[in-house]
Amino acid sequence: MGNYKKLALITITCVMALTGLFLFAIPKVGFNYDFEAFFPKGDPETVFFNEHRDRFESDNDFIFVALQRDAGIFEKEFLLKAKAFTDNIAKDSLVLSVTSITNLEEYVKTPFSPKPIVRPFVNYENLEEVKKDSTRIFSHPELIPQYVSEDGTDLLIFIKHQPFMSKKNGDLIGATIRSELDKQGITEYKLAGRSIGMGYYINKMQYETLLFIGLSFILIIAFLAISFRSLWGILIPLSVVSLSMGWIVGFMGLVGQPINLVLTVLPSIIFVVAMSDVIHLVSKYIDELRLGREKNEAIRTAYKEVGFATLLTSLTTAIGFLTLLTVDMQPVKAFGIFVSIGVMLAFILAYTYLPALLVLVKKPRISDKPYTENVWYKFLHTLLRNVIRNKKPYFVGSIILVGISVWGTTLVESDYFLLEDLDPKTGLRKDYEYFDKELAGLRPFELSINAVDSERSILEPELLAEVAKVDEYLLNVYGLKRTLSIPSILKLAHRTENGGLAKYYTMPGPKDTEKYISRIQKFDKDNMLRLLVDSTETYTRISSTQGDIGLYAVTDKNEAFYDFVEKEVNTNLIDIKMTGTAHLLDINMRSLSGSLTTGLLIAIFIVSLIMGALYKSIKIVLLALVPNVLPLIMLAAILGFTGINLRVSTAIVFTISFGIAVDDTIHFMSKFKLELSKGKSVLYALKRTYLSTGRAIVLTTLILCSGFLLLMFSDFLGTYFIGILISLTLLFALIADLLVLPVLLILFFKQEKA
């Protein structure tokens, strides 16, 4: 007895020492929000995008500010406030430029002046004539709706800030903008942009991470109180779970891994997975005590009969998460790696710290209650009897359910929207949707065009004529409301040369093109060409934004665009390639389902190998896989019937669910094999398995489902759906383990003997 206590004390001392190390590292854990982390590293498309950005600039370092006035923006006092805001915000050290109609000018050349006349779009020296200015502004297509909404109630300000800005600087510039707006008495406005979104996302990630930890604690305490009805039954498991959470977060701090958008669900997963290990071991320990075993003997028996199964379940759960490495997105890979590490750390604590605690503390009073009087025993006994009596209806019903589910899977779609992860009720989502629908859209559009012959300049009239074809198609057919391109600048130059008349806002002929390009190069004080033509004059770009119309719609538009290029553009002169952040996200979404299917098949294969090595029976392996594959088919059917799109968050649910759901089956089949090895009949072995493991299976599933349902409190729809869908899948898996698996064993394993 003394040796056990001595070993337990040594174990707890070692665990506490490691805990101190991990707790010291927890404050080092940061939060990271970076859409570009979802781009596949080393992929040719990513490489090309980085090269394109090096030639020009990022397509995402800006902030949109929409100043609103229901009665119309062309009012003296409002325009004065808008100008004061743009002038003051332009002085900020983080701001590179500010553009709006308050500071934009047009150049007009007349027969009476050898040099172009510079004329502001809003004449602040005579705002009494602002109605005339508004008429002129609406006659300029390059200003509507880029700087003024089509109904004249929004004034759009484009703020370009320092590239790749950190959250700290993003928060600073956001606060400066809001402060300056308040100073000017402007109360109706909307903001959008990467730095605005980054601040919101990271703040929300921090809040939700702490929220889920707190809710998980409350949930676990409630479940433990109901299940064990003793302080012992709360404190012992809770200490193991808490250490599991502290260890994995501390480990992330030690290796410098920040919490990304996907990893915000890590606390909930580790809490429930660690609790699953503890429940199985503690439940078996209490059962052994109720059978009259001495405390240390009960601990040894629990770990002998359940411990190995717990190891297997930890491995299969970790494998399920590690298969996410097949997805070429760094945040998803990090999620798979660190959750799998957390699962194994939880197992280590369940195998070291938990038994040490059980040795040192008194046995729980709940163990004094006779085994057969347990309410779980009566419930499970009745349920099993019902399953045995109605095995054929259960079997036929399962086949019908599979058929319906398979049909549902054919309805699954994988459309994708940039804004879909934000809850529609949040202010940021509403602001973004406003920009997206009412103005020029927020989805970046980026096109790279280069001279096929690298010895020729992309600014040659012959090549620019082909670029102009592309520009016109994008505006008139593709659906862009405006473009930033060499043709758009040449149109402005042509109109300037012809008295500022709107009818001359057209692409000039070859001679005029050459003349205008020469003038622009000579007098380009704003360095506009540098934004559109690279230093070698081989590459140019067409940049714009569009509405968040979804992956399917964009794919159709792009296919039509490339068909136009093939038929109408001289591809012997110019080469055209789409790129940009939105384009790379589209590529990832298209490949996502294939990557995750591969990962899921790998997980099923590895788990099958583990089961095969354990049970040494192909028949048992196949029977054991059914209650775990069936819930996945049902999950896919739910996506199909409800119209929930397959995206990152919903797709990873399949591998996560399989890795976790298979745990209960392993516990069930391990006990079944153990009973068979004692020489028991199949029916008797099934009964003993059902009654002894059923309670732990039901409890752990309820805890897992409740833990994941906490994610419904998230403002991120991806996290919200992860919570709901995993909970449903685990519930389906529980039903399959309790109702389908016994039927399969009875019908197809009748002649097997121990």
**How large is the average pLDDT for residues 414-420?**
78
pLDDT band, very low/low/confident/very high, at 526 (cuts 50, 70, 90): low
**How large is the average pLDDT for residues 564-573?**
94
Q: Residue 736 CA to chain centroid, in angstroms?
A: 30
Q: Residue 203 CA to chain centroid, in angstroms?
A: 16
DSSP three-state, residue 239 = helix
**How large is the average pLDDT for residues 367-371?**
59
Give the pLDDT confidence score for residue 203 in this predicted structure.
Answer: 80
Q: Residue 88 CA to chain centroid, in angstroms?
A: 37
Give the pLDDT confidence score for residue 568 in this predicted structure.
Answer: 94
Nearest alpha-carbon partner for 346 in 490, 247, 416: 247
Q: What is the pLDDT of residues 219-236, one digit of tens each?
A: 878 877 777 777 777 888
**CB 156 within 8 Å of CB 65:** yes
**CB 247 within 8 Å of CB 22:** yes
Burial (Cβ within 10 Å: 0-12, 13-18, ≥19) of residue 112: exposed
Nearest alpha-carbon partner for 63 in 205, 178, 201: 178
> What is the largest distance, in Å, between two alpha-carbon atoms of the chain?
111
In angstroms, the CA 587 to CA 47 distance is: 13
Nearest alpha-carbon partner for 184 in 270, 79, 286, 266: 79
DSSP three-state, residue 120 = strand
User: Residue 229 — left, alpha, or beta (φ > 0 → left; ψ -120 to 50 → alpha)?
Assistant: left
Given a cut of 80, is residue 408 above it in pLDDT? yes
In angstroms, the CA 625 to CA 370 distance is: 35
**How large is the average pLDDT for residues 414-438?**
79
**How large is the average pLDDT for residues 531-541?**
89
Domains and CATH numbers, the chain: 1-30+207-373 (1.20.1640.10), 61-193 (3.30.70), 384-410+617-754 (1.20.1640.10), 432-585 (no CATH)
Given a cut of 80, is residue 375 above it in pLDDT? no
Q: What is the pLDDT of residues 573-608, one digit of tens each?
A: 999 999 988 888 888 777 777 777 788 888 888 888
Give the pLDDT confidence score for residue 364 in this predicted structure.
Answer: 74
**How large is the average pLDDT for residues 67-79?**
90
Please name the helix (run of DSSP H) or strand (run of DSSP E) that holds residue 93, with its range, or none: none
Give the pLDDT confidence score for residue 524 in this predicted structure.
Answer: 59
Give the pLDDT confidence score for residue 464 in this predicted structure.
Answer: 93
Give the pLDDT confidence score for residue 367 in this predicted structure.
Answer: 60
Give the pLDDT confidence score for residue 673 in this predicted structure.
Answer: 82
pLDDT band, very low/low/confident/very high, at 59 (cuts 50, 70, 90): low
Give the pLDDT confidence score for residue 338 in this predicted structure.
Answer: 92
71: tokens are 């009665």
Geometric angle at alpha carbon 58, from 56 and 60, rounded to 5°? 150
Range with the poorest average pLDDT among 180-189, 493-502, 536-545, 590-599: 590-599
DSSP assigned state of 715:
S
Given a cut of 50, is residue 751 above it in pLDDT? no
Burial (Cβ within 10 Å: 0-12, 13-18, ≥19) of residue 690: buried
> Which is more confident, 539 or 747?
539
pLDDT band, very low/low/confident/very high, at 460 (cuts 50, 70, 90): very high
Given a cut of 60, is residue 1 above it in pLDDT? no
> Which is more confident, 197 or 457?
457
**How large is the average pLDDT for residues 384-413?**
87
Q: Residue 622 CA to chain centroid, in angstroms?
A: 33
Nearest alpha-carbon partner for 254 in 460, 29, 453, 49: 29
Given a cut of 70, is residue 748 above it in pLDDT? yes
The mean pLDDT value of the chain amounts to: 84
In percent, how much of the chain has pLDDT > 70?
95
In percent, how much of the chain has pLDDT > 90?
19
Nearest alpha-carbon partner for 610 in 656, 664, 666: 666
In angstroms, the CA 658 to CA 672 distance is: 21
Give the pLDDT confidence score for residue 754 in this predicted structure.
Answer: 39
Residues in a beta bridge with 191? 65
Nearest alpha-carbon partner for 688 in 394, 395, 301, 377: 377
Residues in a beta bridge with 192? 64
Give the pLDDT confidence score for residue 467 in this predicted structure.
Answer: 94
**How large is the average pLDDT for residues 39-60?**
81
**How large is the average pLDDT for residues 114-131?**
80
Give the pLDDT confidence score for residue 277 in this predicted structure.
Answer: 81
**How large is the average pLDDT for residues 455-463?**
92
Given a cut of 90, is residue 124 above it in pLDDT? no
> Which is more confident, 649 or 370?
649
pLDDT band, very low/low/confident/very high, at 551 (cuts 50, 70, 90): confident
Please name the helix (run of DSSP H) or strand (run of DSSP E) that holds residue 154, with its range, or none: strand 154-161
DSSP three-state, residue 96 = strand
> pTM (2 decimals)?
0.77
**How large is the average pLDDT for residues 149-163?**
89
pLDDT band, very low/low/confident/very high, at 426 (cuts 50, 70, 90): confident
**How large is the average pLDDT for residues 257-275?**
80
Q: How many CA atoms lie within 13 A of 714 on its CB side?
A: 31
Given a cut of 70, is residue 34 above it in pLDDT? no
**How large is the average pLDDT for residues 327-349?**
88
Given a cut of 60, is residue 753 above it in pLDDT? no
**How large is the average pLDDT for residues 37-58?**
81
pLDDT band, very low/low/confident/very high, at 528 (cuts 50, 70, 90): low
Tracing tokens 């019902």 back to the chain, one arrives at: 386
In angstroms, the CA 162 to CA 193 distance is: 13
Given a cut of 60, is residue 530 above it in pLDDT? yes
**How large is the average pLDDT for residues 637-658?**
82
